[in-house]
Amino acid sequence: MEIPRIIGAGLVVIGAGIGIGRIGGSAMDAIARQPEATGKIQTAMLIAAALIEGIGFAAIFAS
Amino acid sequence: MVFSKKSLQFILAALVACLPLFGFANETQDSLNVHTETTAVAHGHEEAHDLDPNSLEGRKAKIDAFKMHHVLDSHEFSLFEKDGQHFGFPLPIILWDNGVHIFSSSKFEHGHAVAESKGNFYRLGHDEKIYKVESATAELSGDEHHPTNEKVLDFSITKSVFTLMIVSLLMFLLFRSLARSFAKNGGISAGFGRLFEPIVLYIRDEIAIPNIGEKHYKKYMSYLLTIFFFVWFLNMFGLTPLGINVTGNIAITAGLAIITALITNFTANKNYWGHIFWMPGVPTPMKIILAPIELLGVIIKPFSLMIRLYANIFAGHVVLMSLIALIFLFQSWVGGPLSFLLSFALSTIEILVALLQAYIFTMLSALYFGSAVAEHHHDDAHH
């Protein structure tokens, strides 16, 4: 049965999407408050996004 | 032939944009000459031959085989095929089977023939693995996907290994000439150095020093620089039409992650191991709970490094292959432009992903090194 696997993979992608979306949103707010810190905020945002994506991919490959 | 009139440029651009409309797959003329198969897909090798090539299932099975052929490793470097004739060069096969056997992969004749070496006979399976057979005319026994023949230790120079060697040589020559141009020019960069100097300085000032600290960062700089450019160049090579997929191979990313793990654990000081087994600054019941979790973390952190790089690059290649295969799926004028636009957009993103994944791998390695050499901090919770 492939259906539970597909649903599981879909849920993982939803989770990763929500997580990275929230990070992006907070990053936008922070940049709006302090435009001169844009570089550091972007760097931190990319790192956090990559970590979440790592979990997402690992779960997709496991399913 | 540079046109300066705006209208002329517009007409030229519109003509070029219409070119994909003329690319479509005619089943009788442009067939995919498939000679490898995947074990991960439900469609079997038998099905790819028995199914009607004009039907949807037949096309899908062929497309799956086409995709897998382009992302998996291979024992020969095949550039392209035309009318059943292969253009490319064979790579050496090195086996260990009670003695070393070295021969060229052209003996396998793309999987159709049996190779003989010092009295032993070998056959190339559909999953690109080498199996031992009894005689010069024997077929592989067992299921098409899972031959029950004995496998041999395979140390061959495959496409990925060959690319690794080429990229290492390229990096060595490039950075050696860069270093010498610095020395000749009195410390000021010239030529290509002007591109790489800011990147090297960025890795030192933004990745190494903030994470590892001023005292110890120099020890790790060479590794961080190597990893960054190695992963970046390999990712970019994977995007070329040569079809070499190196970092999308879990064995290679596993090797890189293992090296990071070894460096982290063997250059760690007492504080690092203290934080793992007996985390300071938390109550004792928590310490006992945290110890196994931190121990697992020693394994899981490099594991996630491996999976992250592998999955990003592999998934990107598979999706790119699927988009190209759209041309063969829609056997009409729709397939060409649609496939072209989508794969163009995806390729642009893939270039960004190539750089980003190299940066993330380097940054996380630096983070782990930093935690390995971190000094003891006196917090309020300590006595």
pLDDT tens-digit map of B315-361? 888 888 888 888 877 777 777 888 888 889 998 989 988 999 999 99
* DSSP tag of B95: E
Average pLDDT over residues B182-204: 81
Domain membership of residue B10 (yes or no) is no
Nearest CB among A43, A55, A57 relative to B312 is that of A57
For residue B306, give its domain range: 159-372
Q: Is A6 on the interface with B (CB under 8 A)?
A: no
Q: Do B339 and B252 belong to one domain?
A: yes
Q: Which residues of A touch B360 (CB under 8 A)?
A: 46-47, 50
Which of the four pLDDT bands, split at 50, 70 and 90, describes residue B375? confident
Average pLDDT over residues B194-201: 87
Q: Do B173 and B106 belong to one domain?
A: no
CA B310 to chain centre: 7
Q: Do B195 and B298 belong to one domain?
A: yes
Q: Which of A6, A41, A52, A53 to mutate to test the interface with B (most CBs of B within 10 A)?
A: A53
Domain membership of residue B377 (yes or no) is no
Q: Do B208 and B335 belong to one domain?
A: yes
Q: Is B198 on the interface with A (CB under 8 A)?
A: no
Q: Choose from A54-58, B324-328, B356-360, B379-383 the range with maximum mean pLDDT.
A: B356-360
Judge whether residue B54 has pLDDT over 70: no
Judge whether residue B118 has pLDDT over 80: no
* DSSP tag of B145: S
Q: What's the pLDDT at A62? A: 75
Judge whether residue B47 has pLDDT over 60: no
Nearest CB among A43, A47, A54 relative to B304 is that of A54
Tell me the shortest Cα–Cα distance from B233 to chain A, in angstroms: 19
The enclosing H or E element of B96 equals: strand B92-96
Other beta carbons less than 10 A from residue B307's beta carbon: 23
Other beta carbons less than 10 A from residue B17's beta carbon: 12
Distance of alpha carbon B111 from alpha carbon B130, whole angstroms: 10
This prediction's pTM: 0.81
Q: Choose from A13-17, A45-49, B96-100, B181-185 the range with maximum mean pLDDT.
A: A13-17
Q: What percent of chain B has pLDDT over 70?
A: 83
Q: What's the pLDDT at B98? A: 77
Q: Do B234 and B329 belong to one domain?
A: yes
Q: Do B146 and B226 belong to one domain?
A: no
Judge whether residue B127 has pLDDT over 90: no
Nearest to B295 by CA among B278, B314, B316: B278
Q: What percent of chain B has pLDDT over 90?
A: 19
Last residue of a domain, which of B154, B173, B204? B154
Q: Which residues of A touch B304 (CB under 8 A)?
A: 51, 54-55, 58
* DSSP tag of B88: E
CA angle in degrees (0–180, nearest 5) for B19-B21-B27:
120
Distance of alpha carbon B271 from alpha carbon B375, whole angstroms: 7
Count of the separate structural domains present in chain B: 2
CB B311 to CB A60 under 8 A? yes
Q: Which residues of A touch B308 (CB under 8 A)?
A: 50, 53-54, 57-58
Q: Do B270 and B363 belong to one domain?
A: yes
Which of the four pLDDT bands, split at 50, 70 and 90, describes residue B32? very low
The enclosing H or E element of A46 equals: helix A38-62
Alpha carbon separation from B234 to B3, B136, B173, B195, B318 (Å, rounded): 37, 39, 16, 18, 17
Domain membership of residue B25 (yes or no) is no
Q: Do B180 and B295 belong to one domain?
A: yes
Q: What's the pLDDT at B81? A: 67
Judge whether residue B49 has pLDDT over 70: no
Q: Do B196 and B296 belong to one domain?
A: yes
Judge whether residue B260 has pLDDT over 90: yes
Q: What's the pLDDT at B334? A: 79
Q: Which residues of A touch B305 (CB under 8 A)?
A: 54
Distance of alpha carbon B258 from alpha carbon B266, whole angstroms: 12
Judge whether residue B43 has pLDDT over 50: no
Q: Which of A2, A13, A40, A57 to mutate to test the interface with B (most CBs of B within 10 A)?
A: A57
Q: Choose from B57-66, B190-199, B242-251, B302-311 the range with maximum mean pLDDT.
A: B302-311
**Buried residues in B339-372 as b, exposed as e (16+ CB within 10 A):** bbebbeeeeeebeebbebbbbbbbbbbbbbbbbb
Q: Is A58 on the interface with B (CB under 8 A)?
A: yes
More confident residue, B150 or B49: B150
Q: What's the pLDDT at B366? A: 93
Distance of alpha carbon B300 from alpha carbon B280, whole angstroms: 22
Domain membership of residue B17 (yes or no) is no
Distance between first and last Cα of chain A: 12
Domain membership of residue B21 (yes or no) is no
Q: Do B108 and B182 belong to one domain?
A: no
Quote the mean pLDDT of chain B. 79
Q: Do B97 and B221 belong to one domain?
A: no
Which of the four pLDDT bands, split at 50, 70 and 90, describes residue A34? very high
Secondary structure of residue B212 in the 3-state scheme: helix
Which of the four pLDDT bands, split at 50, 70 and 90, describes residue B143? low
- Residues of chain B numbered 297-326 and touching chain A (CB < 8 Å): 304-305, 307-308, 311-312, 315
Q: What's the pLDDT at B2? A: 64
Q: Choose from A17-21, B35-39, B288-292 the range with maximum mean pLDDT.
A: A17-21
Domain membership of residue B262 (yes or no) is yes
Judge whether residue B33 has pLDDT over 60: no
Last residue of a domain, which of B154, B182, B217? B154
Is residue B338 within 8 Å of B330, Cβ to Cβ? yes
Nearest to B89 by CA among B109, B106, B103, B112: B106
Average pLDDT over residues B39-62: 55
Q: What's the pLDDT at B229? A: 94
B250: nearest CA in chain A? A61
Distance of alpha carbon B170 from alpha carbon B192, whole angstroms: 14
Q: What's the pLDDT at B28? A: 47
More confident residue, B171 or B71: B171
Last residue of a domain, which of B154, B169, B195? B154
Which of the four pLDDT bands, split at 50, 70 and 90, describes residue B119? confident
Domain membership of residue B207 (yes or no) is yes
Q: Do B132 and B202 belong to one domain?
A: no
Q: What's the pLDDT at B235? A: 93
Domain membership of residue B243 (yes or no) is yes
Which of the four pLDDT bands, split at 50, 70 and 90, describes residue B364? very high
Q: Is the ipTM of this complex over 0.85?
A: no
